[in-house]
A and B are shown apart, each in its own frame.
Chain A
Amino acid sequence: MKKLYSNKFHILIFLLPALILFCGVLIAPIGASAYFSLFDWKGIGPKTFIGLSNYKELFTSNSIGFLKALRNSLLLAALSVGLQLPLALALALALGKKIKGERAFLSVYFMPVLISTVVIGQLWLKIYNPDYGILNVFLRAVGLENWTRIWLGTKKTALGAVLVPTLWQYVGYHMLLLYAGVKSVPIELREAAMLDGATDGQVNRYIVLPYIKPIVRISVIFAVTGSLKSFDLIYVLTNGGPLHSTEVPSTLMISMLFLRNRYGMGSTIAVLLILLCFGFALLINVMFKESEE
């Protein structure tokens, strides 16, 4: 058995497809991006080596606005952890109480996850339409004329208007993950606590939450890296506008690559985005480990 399983050739064969796919599509492009980030290059034609100038420009130039884009995506990440996850957790805890129609609720909550992001984006574009969108129509109907806004067209409201559907779509995703955790809490643990006179809140606080911590950790990682990666919905809704108020690093990267023909700068943003995602994933892991100790 041991001999059979230690055959180097077999190990290689089993790993090869994954390694080729993974390195070819994920790792090599990162390398390429890191290399190109050191050049001033239009993507076609000759390129000039400029060292780390792209990185420097990215952090110092006001007109690129990378820091603002970064701030927006960090805000999204913060809201995702601070708003989306608690809501998902509350729903999961409520559904974990043997509620009537549990399945129906569960199914409906998960539904937005299955709808294509582009569809959601187009739908919300219609919801926010200043003339005919359901939101303004509703506000007018109930006499809140003053509350109507050009939701996606003014700097003040655009970011909020983009964040709402982004957060809304994935509540169901996290809810289902956490629900799985809540359901896996052994019933004896709960009952023992109840017998000791613990209230519902206390059971959740002292029994359920510590038990589902690994799942919460995964949820947090997905929520944070997902926020940093977010692109499609923002691309459809505002593509970073108006006046860059909803710009995130990915939309900035695409506009550098294809709108401004600054391939080197686009690659620089790509590299930073990857580092950021790695960094946060690591950080979250460390934080959860520390709190366990």
Chain B
Amino acid sequence: MRNNSKGERIAIYIGLIFWMLVNLFPVYWMFTFSLKDNPEIFGKNVIGLPQHWLWSNYTRAMHTGNMGRYFLNSAIVATATIIITLIVALMATFALTRLIWKRRKTLNKFFMLGLTIPIHASIVPVYVTLSRLHLLNTYWALIIPYSAFSLAMAILVCTGFMNEIPRELDESACIDGCSTWGIFLRVIVPLMKPAVATVGIYTFLQCWNELMFANIFISKSALRTLPVGVQALSGQYTTDWGPIGAALVLATFPTLFLYIFLSKKIQDSFVAGAVKG
């Protein structure tokens, strides 16, 4: 604000820049050591840029580590989870905010319980169920539980957005002869576009990181996701840091690039979720 003293402003900047460095440094370090060999990492050149850019670390991470495959798997699982979560949440939110019935407030609260349930608490029963349904070792083994655990947040966000759509629109569509489905598909869903991005981000954060389910529910190495792949690779190359660094970078940078390009959109959508929720 205008009446801030100069000293105060400088102090704020120093604080902000300090925290920025705290966030950037680990990523920078990860990137540089992914291009070094052990002697450089372990002493000769700990924090500088690599003396010889050792791209072969990346070849090793890609080939023995199979990071490309894992990245694709994670992307498939995340995309499918986001789509399913969205569809299911939009339908449920429509029923919870628009349709008229007695217990809808109670049911809404019931769904909100999902916000606090720890995903690991259900690991064995979910495993047994998936096993009975013959879904283990398929992408569905992850997509279904991830969708279920993202549902509560998605409903919370969608409720915020849907409540803002004026009810008059429903009325006029109804007068035009639309059925319930017609109103939902032609009026509500098109207006929920902003919610799509927001739900997408929250769901992505939920399922991109998950390790335990991914580890136990998938045994085919061709279907492993990134966290499992990174963890396995680190277990194999404990003493050879370069390829591990390369795997960490491969697991991180595509998301970060996407983020850099779309950061405003991502932040706005994330923020929208907070305000609406």
Do A's and B's CB atoms come within 8 Å in the complex?
A: yes
On A, residues with C-beta under 8 Å from B are: 1-2, 4-8, 10-11, 14-15, 17-19, 21-22, 24-26, 28-30, 32-33, 43, 87, 90-91, 94-95, 97-99, 103, 105-119, 122-127, 131-132, 134, 137, 168, 171-172, 176-177, 179-181, 183-184, 194, 200, 203, 215, 218, 221, 225, 228-229, 231-232, 235-236, 250, 253-254, 257, 263, 266-267, 270-271, 273-274, 277-278, 280-281
What is the size, in residues, of chain B's interface with A at 8 Å between Cβ atoms?
99
* Closest partner residue, chain B, to A250 (CB atom): B120
**Complex formed: what's the CA distance from A203 to B207 in Å?**
39
Q: How many whole Å from A54's CB to the nearest CB in chain B?
A: 15
**In the complex, how many residue pairs between chain A and chain B have their CB atoms under 8 Å apart?**
271
* B144-161 at interface with A (beta carbon < 8 Å): 144-145, 147-149, 151-152, 155
A106, A131, A203, A274: the one contacting B42 at CB < 8 Å is A131
Interface residues of B in 108-127 (CB under 8 A from A): 111, 113-126
A98 → B minimal CB distance (Å) = 8
**Which residue of chain B has the shortest Cβ distance to A251 in the bound complex?**
B120
Residues of B within 8 A of A168 (CB): 22
Cβ B212 vs Cβ A108 within 8 A: no
B15: interface (CB < 8 Å): yes
Q: Which residues of A contact B181 (CB under 8 A)?
A: 10
B171 and A107 within 8 A (CB): no
Q: Is the CB of B114 within 8 A of A26?
A: yes
How many Å from the CB of A250 to the closest CB on chain B?
Answer: 5
- Inter-chain CA distance A99–B251, complex, in Å, is 32
Closest B residue by C-beta to A129: B241
For the complex, give the distance between the alpha carbons of A172 and B234 in Å: 27
Residues of B within 8 A of A131 (CB): 42
B89 at the binding interface (Cβ < 8 Å): yes
A231 touches B120 (CB 8 A): yes
Among A15, A17, A125, the residue within 8 A (CB) of B87 is A17
A250 to B94, CA, bound (A): 35
Contact check, A114 vs B205: say whether CB atoms are below 8 A apart.
yes
B residues with a Cβ closer than 8 A to A are 1, 3-4, 8, 12-13, 15-16, 19-20, 22-24, 26-27, 29-30, 33, 41-43, 46-47, 87-89, 91-92, 94-96, 98-101, 107, 111, 113-126, 129, 144-145, 147-149, 151-152, 155, 170-171, 174, 179-181, 183-184, 205, 208-212, 226-227, 230-231, 234, 241, 244-245, 248, 251-252, 255-256, 259-260, 263-264, 266-267, 270-272, 274-275, 277
Q: List 23 A-B contacts (CB under 8 A).
A: A8-B101, A10-B181, A14-B91, A14-B92, A14-B99, A15-B107, A29-B126, A33-B125, A97-B4, A105-B20, A106-B263, A107-B260, A107-B267, A109-B23, A116-B209, A119-B248, A176-B274, A177-B270, A236-B231, A254-B123, A266-B124, A273-B121, A277-B116
Distance between Cα atoms of A271 and B212 in the complex (Å): 18
Per the bound structure, the CA–CA distance linking A194 and B1 in Å amounts to 9
Given known pairs A200-B4, A235-B211, the reply for A113 and B205 (CB within 8 Å) is yes
With A18-B89, A18-B151 known as contacts, the answer to whether A111 contacts B27 (CB < 8 A) is yes
| Complex contacts, B241 vs chain A, CB 8 Å | 126, 132
Report the separation of the CA atoms of residues A189 and B93 in the bound assembly, to the nearest whole angstrom: 34
A117 touches B148 (CB 8 A): no
A113 surroundings in chain B (CB, below 8 A): 205
In the bound complex, do residue A116 and residue B149 qualify as a contact, i.e. CB atoms below 8 Å apart?
no
Partner of B231, one of A18, A91, A118, A215: A118
Whether the Cβ atoms of B116 and A225 lie closer than 8 Å is: yes
A17 touching B126, Cβ below 8 Å? no
> A116-B208, A176-B271, A232-B212 in contact; A126/B33 too (CB < 8 A)?
yes
Checking A15, A126, A177 against B91 with a beta-carbon cut-off of 8 angstroms, the contacting residue is A15
Bound: A124/B180 CA distance, A: 53
8 nearest CB pairs, A to B: A25-B148, A29-B122, A29-B125, A18-B92, A180-B271, A14-B95, A270-B121, A229-B118
